[in-house]
């Protein structure tokens, strides 16, 4: 078997326009075939007509051993893009294309890392590849189904872009449809009406100035508030009497979404007609799996300042956390996700792959360490990178 190249694999994945269901199916078929051609068994589940893939290496559950199980979680779907963005290109150290950073580059490295660790016998490693992380569907997500089947493991790494830092916290999501009423009139005499679109803009500005919006935390300067969609008016020559808008609030760990909704409900003219909530993610930095991952990154990438970071966006990590499974976001270097010039660092793909492999190999040692021990098991008494030989920060990214 030829040397496995995560770059070539990432280029192939980017070539599928997986903003479309039929291309998700085709890309999943490629992933399944790639793994099976390397003697890795793949289980296939159907979710709303789209494929969910689960592959596993390491000691089998049937051997009777009490082995830890870690999940490498990735998604194939991407947000829509121009056709040329699905023709990947190399520009220096950059692999450019839709999904390069979010997160086909990371998924390619995860697939390679799965093969790299298949012969070790201490940790069960499960690759979970889903088709709907970018979906706006909130009630039935495939990762929730995977976890409900008991396939979540003891710890999960979802390969969202983090620039090789470890995302131990993520904001929660409070998404709302808000309706604002006005009074219709002829457009030639707008002073006789009450323009619902203008009132809706005022409501949004009021939301931006509510008390919750000025709060901060250790890893986040403030919540994120976005007016994602606004619809109002049904005729050019009529003052609109109704307006609907979609507001996306990413609230901080420790904030109460019900309290936020209560503050919004006290704004005159604002009527929330529908809402949904994804809880925030927070994993203690003292968690032994997190400590093992931090140690692995420091060893695999000696020149990298490894930091525990907060993530402004949400991801499928929430599904694992809801089931009591610690989950972090950890992905390669890059930028521009969801934008016209999305790219991932070619060299970071290899570094990312090495970090995942090192994590699996170091994990058993860290799980045997006392919770209070800050010394890396193989550092001969030197202090390991606690919170990345650096500090705390917040970075952008995550689910749209």
Domain 6-170+281-395 has CATH 3.40.630.10: yes
Residue 246 burial by Cβ neighbours in a 10 Å radius (0-12, 13-18, 19+) = middle
pLDDT in tens, the chain (400 residues): 445 689 999 999 999 999 999 999 999 999 999 999 999 999 999 999 999 999 999 998 766 668 999 999 999 999 999 999 999 999 999 999 999 999 999 999 999 999 999 999 999 999 999 999 988 765 678 999 999 999 999 999 999 999 999 999 889 889 999 999 999 999 999 999 999 999 999 999 999 999 999 999 988 999 999 999 999 999 999 999 999 999 999 999 999 999 999 999 999 999 999 888 888 888 999 999 999 999 999 999 998 888 878 877 778 888 898 899 999 999 999 999 889 999 999 999 999 999 999 999 999 999 998 766 554 444 433 323 333 323 334 444 444 4
| 156 phi and psi angles, rounded to 5 deg | -130, 140
Residue 273 and residue 266: Cα distance in Å, rounded? 14
Instruction: Report d(CA 315, CA 279) in Å as an integer.
Output: 10
H or E element, residue 248: strand 242-251
Contact 315, 170 (CB under 8 A): yes
Strand ranges, E, within 38-171: 42-47, 50-57, 69-75, 89-91, 94-96, 124-130, 155-158, 166-170
323 class by beta-carbon count within 10 Å (0-12 exposed, 13-18 middle, 19+ buried): middle
pLDDT value at position 318?
85
Residue with tokens 């990154």: 297
CB atoms near residue 15 (< 10 Å): 19
* Cβ atoms of residues 114 and 120 within 8 Å: no
Q: In this predicted structure, what is the pLDDT of residue 307?
A: 83
**Torsional class of 392: left (φ above 0), alpha (ψ -120 to 50), beta (otherwise):** beta
- Its pTM surpasses 0.85: no
**Hey, which residues does 335 pair with through a beta bridge?**
343
pLDDT digit string, tens, across residues 86-141: 999 999 999 999 999 999 999 999 999 999 999 999 999 999 999 999 887 656 78
How far is the C-alpha of 55 from the C-alpha of 68, rounded, in Å? 16
Q: CB-hemisphere CA count at 13 Å for 298?
A: 25
Per-residue DSSP letters for 350-366? HHHHHHHHHHHHHHHHH
- Longest CA span, the chain: 81
Give 172-278's CATH code, choosing from 3.30.70.360, 3.30.70.120, 3.30.70.890, 3.30.2000.10.
Answer: 3.30.70.360
Scan for tokens 């199980």, then name that residue.
69
> Residue 268: CA atoms inside 13 Å, Cβ hemisphere, count?
2
For residues 178 and 33, give the distance between their C-alpha atoms in angstroms, rounded to a whole number.
46
Task: Please give the pLDDT value at position 348.
Answer: 96
Backbone angles phi, psi at 73, to 5 degrees: -115, 130
Q: Tokens for 193, please give them.
A: 């009406």
Q: Let me know: does 74 contact 109? Beta carbons within 8 Å.
A: no
Comparing CA positions, the residue from 75, 88, 15 lying closest to residue 343 is: 88
Sequence ranges of the chain with CATH classification 3.30.70.360? 172-278
Assigned token pair, 342: 């999305």
For the chain, where do the domains classified as CATH 3.40.630.10 start and end? 6-170+281-395
């Amino acid at each position: 078997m030829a040397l496995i190249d995560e770059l070539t694999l990432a280029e192939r994945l980017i070539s599928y326009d997986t903003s479309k269901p039929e291309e998700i199916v085709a890309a999943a078929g490629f992933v399944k075939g790639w793994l099976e051609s390397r003697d890795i068994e793949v289980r296939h589940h159907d979710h709303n007509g789209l494929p969910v893939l689960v592959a596993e290496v390491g000691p089998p559950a049937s051997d009777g051993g009490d082995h830890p199980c870690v999940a490498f979680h990735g998604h194939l779907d991407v947000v829509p893009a121009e056709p040329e963005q699905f023709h990947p290109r190399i520009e220096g150290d950059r692999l450019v294309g839709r999904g390069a950073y979010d997160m086909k580059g990371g998924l390619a490295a995860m697939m390679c890392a799965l093969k790299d660790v298949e012969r070790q016998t201490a940790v069960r490693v499960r690759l979970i590849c889903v088709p709907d992380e970018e979906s706006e569907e909130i009630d039935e997500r495939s990762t929730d189904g995977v976890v409900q089947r008991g396939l979540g493991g003891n710890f999960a790494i979802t390969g969202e872009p983090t620039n090789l830092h470890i995302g131990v916290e993520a904001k929660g999501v409070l998404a709302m449809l808000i309706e604002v009423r006005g009074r219709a009139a002829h457009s030639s005499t707008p002073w006789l009406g009450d323009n619902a679109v203008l009132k809706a803009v005022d409501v949004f500005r009021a939301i931006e100035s509510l008390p919750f919006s000025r709060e901060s935390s250790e890893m986040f300067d403030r919540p994120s508030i976005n007016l994602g969609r606004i619809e109002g008016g049904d005729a050019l020559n009529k003052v609109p009497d109704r307006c609907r808008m979609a507001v996306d609030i990413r609230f901080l760990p420790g904030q109460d979404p019900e309290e936020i909704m209560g503050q919004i409900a006290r704004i005159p003219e604002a009527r929330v007609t529908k809402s949904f909530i994804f809880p925030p993610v927070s994993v203690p930095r003292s968690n032994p799996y997190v400590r093992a991952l931090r140690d692995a990154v420091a060893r695999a990438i000696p020149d990298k300042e490894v930091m525990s970071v907060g993530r402004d966006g949400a991801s499928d990590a929430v599904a694992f956390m809801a089931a009591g499974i610690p989950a972090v976001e950890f992905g390669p270097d890059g930028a521009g996700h969801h934008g016209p010039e999305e790219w991932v660092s070619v060299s970071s793909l290899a570094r990312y792959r090495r970090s995942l492999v090192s994590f699996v190999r170091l994990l058993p040692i860290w799980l045997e360490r006392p919770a209070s021990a800050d010394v890396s098991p193989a550092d001969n008494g030197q202090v390991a990178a606690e919170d990345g030989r650096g500090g705390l920060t917040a970075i952008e990214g995550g689910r749209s």
